[in-house]
Amino acid sequence: MSDSRFDARFDPGQADGRWQRAWDDAQTFRADDSSTKPRSYVLEMFPYPSGRIHIGHVRNYTMGDVLARYKRMTGHEVLHPMGWDAFGMPAENAAMEKKVHPGAWTYQNIANMKAQLKRLGFALDWSRELATCDPDYYGHEQALFVDLFEAGLVYRKESAVNWDPVDQTVLANEQVIDGKGWRSGAPVEKRKLSQWFLKITDFADELLEGLGTLEEWPDKVRLMQENWIGKSSGLQFSFKLSDGGSLEVYSTRPDTIFGASFVAVAPDHPVAQAAAANNPEAEAFIEQCKRGGTTAAELETAEKLGFDTGITATHPFSGAELPVYIANFVLMEYGTGAVMAVPGHDQRDFEFATKYGLPIVRVVAANAAEADAPLSEAEAGDGILVNSDFLDGMSVEEAKRAVIGRAESEGWGQGKTVWRLRDWGVSRQRYWGTPIPFIHCSACGVVPVPKDQLPVVLPEDVDLSVPGNPLVRHPTWKHVDCPQCGGKAERETDTLDTFVDSSWYFLRFASQPADRPFDPAEVARWLPVNQYIGGVEHAILHLLYARFWTRALARTGKLEVREPFASLFTQGMVTHETYFREIDGREVFYSPAEIERTSAGATLTEDGQPVEIGRVIKMSKSKKNTVDPDEIVARYGADAVRWFMLSDSPPERDLPWSEAGIEGCWRFVQRLWRLFGQYDGGAQGEDKALARKTHQAIAAVGEDIEALSFNKAVARIYELTAAAEKAAPSADRSAAIRTILLLASPMMPHLAEEGWAAIGQQGLVADAPWPEADPALLVEDEVTIAVQHKGKLRDTLTAPKGASKEALEALALASEKVQRSLDGADIRKVIVVPDRLVNIVT
RNA sequence: GCGGGCGUGGCGGAAUGGUAGACGCCGGGGACUUAAAAUCCCCUGGGCUUUGCCCGUGUGGGUUCGAGUCCCACCGCCCGCACCA
């Protein structure tokens, strides 16, 4: 049966745009706040408007889109919004390089990227679009920040920044390369500035406890957050110093106290500062530490260095005098900024002790006989205490309790819980961010901008060709009258970390009143987000800050929701082969567009000569292994690209882009189109086997989409397609074809709409209900049983489903192949797993 | 360095502790065609003495009737480390 409408190939060039307009015109994907249907909030992490969407965005948004469309088809009112994380450094860099205003650059990028997203046919509610750089958005953020200030969750303190002494500007960590400023090349210094902080540590316990309720988050992300929050219990105690002072240290291993051979303090610890005051060498050492990197990774990979202050600390039990060192690996931010160092059982201390010839004593061993076994590295494991006076023979846990008990009863220390989590520094000395809505008055101090004077809008007339924050240099902007006393005062010129912007955008999507950040009742109807999707790189910071911000608002009574994201999914990256040649000892990379790729190798189109095929890595501009979503959509249509994003690789893993892969997807689009052409609404007759496969596919694809296992759903659709193609015409075959169209529609919506209309169905397939699986057709009546002997497969048998163990055993023993394998051996045992296998043990 | 993850054919991957390699890509063979494209059919982990047998899920051990799956150790790669977003 052929149909003239299907004579031509499916042409995405004209079909894609037509259906995108049809959805727009019908407002198909607009979320109805007053709907009585069950709600589903599907959200992907919003993009930074860099100018072009990246293939990684396409993957991320395709996953969310399939889920959103599926949820609509299964009867949900779906909120699936999109917006722009629009503040940040790239806009300032562009302003410097291209002499464009950050705002103009950003809005142009948004326009470009929005058009790109539209061409992919995403089922988004664009009526809720927002950009964080819009005063309409950041003005509300300023109000929330003032609320948190009034709730006592905002404060100011001194904190170090990377200072470029040549450009006279603060640098982000990524702008510091090998300890030097990226533009000036000057050695970066640490400089202390008074900055704004949010009290995330007030919520450490809550954020940790809350992880337990996030059952639909990946375990790995929960574990990473747990480790980041880093709750530890230990002993804080005081050493008496030889100079008459005392020194508070914190240790999570008080059981190892008899193994302490020195004490180490951070370079910015008061004891170190005091040593520097009367010792030029100590001062020089501290200066050297300041020149090192600021990041934890740099500090911990750097060679362990120390400076002996000459001061000693008295061991609380043995009375031994331990040298006090200034050490570059001790962090002022954690605990008390000073540690008792136990080289035998801490690797950093071990390296340090080895370098400076300090004693390394074993105080934990597997058993008493091992007490004096030499240590070639620190042993952090469990065991019993040795060489430890009254602790000898105790377990690590018993010893911890014993030491804390003695310290508390003798009054020189106490058990203490310490968190690794530090308060969130939100000050940025930059222009393109949310102005912190405060005013500095010499009479009244730091005063919030009154709510009726918000938003504090960024000035437009700024000069970004000079390094440094233009808000500081601006002739008029910062000069204001104090809202309290009316006297002359100055605006705060720091702007907020962009992580603040992304800590509540999901609330604003759910509710957008003009006069307030959101309406709590409306938010409560949509939140928590049912499915949040984004990259693992956000596993800690963004997700923890968003959880904190939500809880902080809840504490101030602004919100009922405590955990914003009920279910989280972290998708993998899109990768691609790299192509390069070594020229003068340097690797020169070529983009895929410049390459002819065959199964044998790759050549450069320009000169026909071979190039080397490098590793498959994350797409990046510097390696030129990117592909442009627009180009591939223009070549293959949105549906083939979407299908490729979902096929093959499981969504949490990396997806290698390949030309052959997208070609295969294109062919499948056309194959489905031909199959739709075989649809005959009037076909008669049964095909029980195909009907069974159809209903099994309905059940499986639904489950796979719910589990976000798109690659498996895709495989199921391939299977059913192959079965339907082979089947003879029948009513069941037509039902199978119609079902395939529906099952594929969230993934290939344009093809599905075109096919839906062509087979004479009413309305949009986007509005059609998801097919229901008939439970009676899901079960097979025959199963294949594997028969093993000596742990190896010997035969497979067909048996009725639910056959008894005895029947299966008899069937297995009757097999000729099995008898040959047994070769008359005595049967010791037969294991039968019903409907699965028989294992004969001889 | 610390924390987290991943590792299965030529490639992407599938597999409630129970038939390893579903499904797709690449490749090979064939059909159709004047020819090509498109399409369709068959084959496709390795080896061997090929009615069948042996090997095989990063490496080395272990638990089990049975391990890709669980445990221990190691190797490699990837992500995060608080001012990139």
The per-residue DSSP string of A305-359 comes to -EEEEEEEEE-TTT-PEEEEEEETT--TTSTTSEEEE-TTT-HHHHHHHHHHT--
**How far: A592 CA to B57 C1' (Å)?**
32
Question: Who among residues 38-57 of A has its Cβ near strand B, under 7 Å?
Answer: 47-48
Q: How confident is the model at residue A626 (pLDDT cuts 50, 70, 90)?
A: confident
pLDDT value at position A4? 52
Identify nearest nucleotide to residue A347 by CA to C1′ distance.
B1
CA distance A136 to A27: 24
pLDDT value at position A144? 97
pLDDT value at position A7? 62
Highest mean pLDDT, choosing among A177-186, A282-291, A682-691: A682-691
- Name which of A213-217, A377-381, A452-456, A518-522 the model is least confident about: A377-381
pLDDT value at position A622? 77
A834 pLDDT above the threshold of 90: no
**How far: A602 CA to B46 C1' (Å)?**
28
**How far: A110 CA to B42 C1' (Å)?**
52
Identify nearest nucleotide to residue A301 by CA to C1′ distance.
B1
**For all residues of chain A together, what is the average pLDDT?**
91
Residue A497 near residue A198, CB atoms below 8 Å: no
Question: Who among residues 675-704 of A has its Cβ near strand B, under 7 Å?
Answer: none
Strand B contact with A168 (CB < 7 A)? no
Within 13 A of A202's CA, how many CA atoms are on the CB side?
14
Give the residue from A147, A123, A145, A160 showing the smallest Cα distance to A24.
A123
CA distance A544 to A207: 8
pLDDT value at position A276? 86
User: Partners of A159 in the beta sheet?
Assistant: A193
pLDDT value at position A1? 40
Q: Where in chain A is the domain with CATH 3.90.740.10?
A: 231-419
Identify nearest nucleotide to residue A88 by CA to C1′ distance.
B85
Using left for φ > 0, alpha for ψ between -120 and 50, and beta otherwise, residue A563 falls in: beta
The first and second tokens of residue A548, run together, are 């904190």
Identify nearest nucleotide to residue A47 by CA to C1′ distance.
B85
Tokens 């370098």 locate to: A355
pLDDT value at position A5? 58
b/e code A760-788 from CB counts within 10 Å (16+ = b): ebeebbbebebbebeeebeeeeebebebb
pLDDT in tens, A429-471: 999 999 999 999 999 999 999 999 999 999 999 988 888 899 9
Q: Where in chain A is the domain with CATH 3.10.20.590?
A: 782-841
Strand B contact with A300 (CB < 7 A)? yes
Helix (H), strand (E) at residue A612:
strand A610-613
Strand B contact with A537 (CB < 7 A)? yes
Express as a percent the part of chain A with pLDDT over 90: 61
- Name which of A30-44, A81-95, A524-538, A822-836 the model is least confident about: A822-836
**How far: A8 CA to B33 C1' (Å)?**
20
Strand B contact with A707 (CB < 7 A)? no
A6 pLDDT above the threshold of 70: no
**How far: A468 CA to B80 C1' (Å)?**
29
pLDDT value at position A423? 95
**How far: A176 CA to B84 C1' (Å)?**
11
| Residues whose CB is less than 8 angstroms from the CB of residue A574 and which lie 6 or more positions away in sequence, other chains included | A54, A55, A56, A58, A59, A618, A619, A654, A655, A656, A657
Strand B contact with A796 (CB < 7 A)? yes
Mean pLDDT value of segment A714-732: 93
Strand B contact with A228 (CB < 7 A)? yes
**How far: A103 CA to B49 C1' (Å)?**
78
Question: Who among residues 741-770 of A has its Cβ near strand B, under 7 Å?
Answer: none
pLDDT in tens, A240-297: 999 888 999 999 999 999 999 999 998 889 988 888 888 899 888 888 887 766 778 8
b/e code A408-423 from CB counts within 10 Å (16+ = b): eeeeebebbebbebeb
Strand B contact with A841 (CB < 7 A)? yes
pLDDT in tens, A386-421: 899 999 989 888 899 999 999 999 999 999 999 999
CA distance A360 to A370: 15
| Residues whose CB is less than 8 angstroms from the CB of residue A755 and which lie 6 or more positions away in sequence, other chains included | A672, A673, A676, A741, A765
CA distance A396 to A602: 60
pLDDT value at position A149? 96
Strand B contact with A331 (CB < 7 A)? no
Q: How confident is the model at residue A81 (pLDDT cuts 50, 70, 90)?
A: very high
Question: Who among residues 99-158 of A has its Cβ near strand B, under 7 Å?
Answer: none
pLDDT value at position A764? 97
Question: Who among residues 438-477 of A has its Cβ near strand B, under 7 Å?
Answer: none
Strand B contact with A161 (CB < 7 A)? yes
Residue A769 near residue A799, CB atoms below 8 Å: no
CA distance A102 to A462: 10
pLDDT value at position A698? 96
Identify nearest nucleotide to residue A427 by CA to C1′ distance.
B83
**How far: A791 CA to B47 C1' (Å)?**
21
Strand B contact with A618 (CB < 7 A)? yes
Identify nearest nucleotide to residue A228 by CA to C1′ distance.
B3
A2 pLDDT above the threshold of 60: no
Looking at per-residue pLDDT, the higher value among A791 and A206 belongs to A206
Going across the sheet that includes A829-833, the strands are: A792-800, A782-789, A837-841, A829-833
Residue A502 near residue A141, CB atoms below 8 Å: no
b/e code A352-364 from CB counts within 10 Å (16+ = b): bbeebebebbbbb
Minimum-distance residue to B41 (CA–C1'): A726
Strand B contact with A89 (CB < 7 A)? yes
Minimum-distance residue to B12 (CA–C1'): A648
CA A508 centroid distance within chain: 21
Phi and psi dihedrals of A590, rounded to 5? -120, 150
pLDDT value at position A489? 95
Strand B contact with A648 (CB < 7 A)? yes
**How far: A795 CA to B47 C1' (Å)?**
22
Is A805 annotated in a binding site? The answer is no
Express as a percent the part of chain A with pLDDT over 70: 99
Identity at A465, one-letter amino acid code: S
**How far: A716 CA to B64 C1' (Å)?**
34
**If you count them, how many residues does chain A have?**
842
**How far: A514 CA to B47 C1' (Å)?**
73
Mean pLDDT value of segment A149-177: 91
Minimum-distance residue to B54 (CA–C1'): A792
**How far: A572 CA to B71 C1' (Å)?**
29
User: Partners of A161 in the beta sheet?
Assistant: A191
Question: Who among residues 549-588 of A has its Cβ near strand B, under 7 Å?
Answer: 573
Strand B contact with A332 (CB < 7 A)? no
Residue A794 near residue A787, CB atoms below 8 Å: yes
Q: How confident is the model at residue A472 (pLDDT cuts 50, 70, 90)?
A: very high
**How far: A723 CA to B51 C1' (Å)?**
33
Strand B contact with A727 (CB < 7 A)? no
Do the interacting molecules here have an ipTM over 0.85?
A: yes
Identity at A179, one-letter amino acid code: G
Strand B contact with A821 (CB < 7 A)? yes
Q: Report yes or no on whether pTM surpasses 0.90.
A: yes
The first and second tokens of residue A770, run together, are 């998801």
Strand B contact with A436 (CB < 7 A)? no
Indicate the SS3 state at residue A41: strand
Mean pLDDT value of segment A586-610: 79
- Taking the CA atoms of residue A640, residue A645, residue A647 and residue A653 in that order, the dihedral angle to the nearest 10 degrees is 170
Mean pLDDT value of segment A309-324: 92
Question: Who among residues 310-329 of A has its Cβ near strand B, under 7 Å?
Answer: none
Indicate the SS3 state at residue A242: coil
CATH pick for A782-841 out of 3.10.20.590, 3.40.1010.20, 3.40.50.300, 3.30.420.40 = 3.10.20.590
Identity at A442, one-letter amino acid code: S
Strand B contact with A349 (CB < 7 A)? no
Mean pLDDT value of segment A159-178: 89
Identify nearest nucleotide to residue A499 by CA to C1′ distance.
B85
Which bases of chain B are under 7 A from a protein CB atom? 1-6, 11-16, 18-20, 22-27, 38-41, 52-55, 65-67, 78-85
A372 pLDDT above the threshold of 90: no
**How far: A803 CA to B34 C1' (Å)?**
61
CATH pick for A231-419 out of 3.90.740.10, 3.80.30.20, 3.40.50.1370, 1.20.1250.20 = 3.90.740.10
Strand B contact with A815 (CB < 7 A)? no
DSSP state of A530: S
Q: Where are the alpha helices (DSSP H) in A614-658?
A: 629-636, 638-646
Phi and psi dihedrals of A128, rounded to 5? -105, 10
DSSP state of A736: H
Indicate the SS3 state at residue A424: strand
